[in-house]
Amino acid sequence: METVLITGGSGLIGKHLEILLKTKGYRVIRLSRAIQNDSFSMNTFYWNIEKQELDNEAIDTADYVIHLAGAGIADKRWTPERKKEILESRVKSAELLFKKVKERNRKLKAYITSSGVGYYGAITTETIFKETDEAANDFLGNTCKAWESSADKFNDLGIRTVKLRTAVVLAKVGGAFPRLLTPIKFGFASAIGDGKQYMSWIHIEDLCTIYLKAIEDDKMHGAFNAVSTEHVTNKDFTKQLAHAINRPFWPIPIPAVLMKTLFGELSIVLLTGSRVSNEKIKNAGYIFKYSTLKQAILDLIS
């Protein structure tokens, strides 16, 4: 039985991915700062990013590492301290994994890291971004670039490395979808700002299956955009979601100035968004189960 070490295993993606991997016959182990003496802890190993400590057994046991750990991009206002936490929680954790893999001379079968479509920047243009495009010179772009650079060190060790630039993940419980759905349930369905910003998205089931493919397809290496096929604007997304649950869509948008007042710099995540291509992952043989937003919404509200 092959073993997959997941960092950030208690998060939205990690929980769903662990279930999928176990059904496919993999052993899944996790990292945690708090270890308890119960059955759960048998597959949980200690790490402390700040102290750069990690249980050697976790690395010695792992055949694959999937790195999902990182402070939530949209969970809090972007104060200087929060921006530092967002960056360092991703990079320092990857550096700790790399240090231990190198020290233990562990020949992993693959190192797979999450990244984000924020790599291309918080902008709305007519460009459809591909993996070959450069990282944007803004907070999100620079964060994703540093995140991926920390993963490239594994590639330098001869370990197959995959970087999944992930869009907004849609799931029934947790993540963005319930947050988007709640105000619409109460009749507040309006575009944000001008509503023309694109909202790249992916269904949680497709995303986890792409991670599985990254484990099992040894031809996969480098960066892949983990986004669904259909490009929708914020206005389109909100309108489709409102109609799906029989709520009205109001033509008067939520003013951008209100978003900036409420969320500060973080508001750019809500007010901007790019179109992102998924041709590379499809050319690698992946077939999306949820390629249209309508399909995804109908599944999530069922």
CB-CB contact of 278 with 229 (8 Å): yes
Neighbours of 16 (CB within 10 A): 20
What does the radius of gyration of the chain's CA atoms come to, in whole angstroms?
Answer: 19
The C-alpha angle with vertex 199 and arms to 195 and 205, in degrees rounded to 5, equals 145
Residue 41 tokens, joined: 């802890």
Give φ, ψ of 242 to 5 degrees.
Answer: -65, -45
In the prediction, which pLDDT does 34 show?
77
The residue whose two tokens read 């206002």 is 77
Rounded Cα gap, residues 277 and 255, in angstroms: 29
Please determine, looking at this structure, whether the domain spanning 3-169+203-227 carries the CATH number 3.10.530.10.
no
Q: What is the pLDDT along the chain (302 residues), one digit of tens a residue?
A: 899 999 999 899 999 999 999 999 999 999 988 765 544 567 899 999 999 999 999 999 999 999 999 999 988 999 999 999 999 999 999 999 999 999 999 999 999 999 999 999 988 888 999 999 999 999 999 999 999 999 999 999 999 999 999 999 999 998 899 988 998 998 889 999 999 999 999 999 999 999 999 999 999 999 999 999 999 999 999 999 999 999 999 989 999 998 899 889 988 888 999 999 999 999 999 999 999 999 999 999 98
In the prediction, which pLDDT does 39 show?
44
DSSP for 95-143, written as a single string: HHHHHHHHHTT---SEEEEEEEGGGG-S---S-EE-TTSPPPSSHHHHH
In the prediction, which pLDDT does 266 show?
87
Which sign, positive or negative, has the C-alpha torsion 123, 127, 130, 134?
negative
Q: How far is CA 40 from the centre of its chain?
A: 25
Residue 270's closest CA among 202, 194, 219? 194
CA atoms within 13 A on the CB side of 62: 34
Residue 70 tokens, joined: 């990182």
pTM over 0.85: yes
Residues 6+ apart with CB under 8 A from 111: 64, 65, 67, 97, 101, 151, 154, 155, 159, 160, 161, 162
Rounded Cα gap, residues 84 and 86, in angstroms: 5
In the prediction, which pLDDT does 41 show?
62
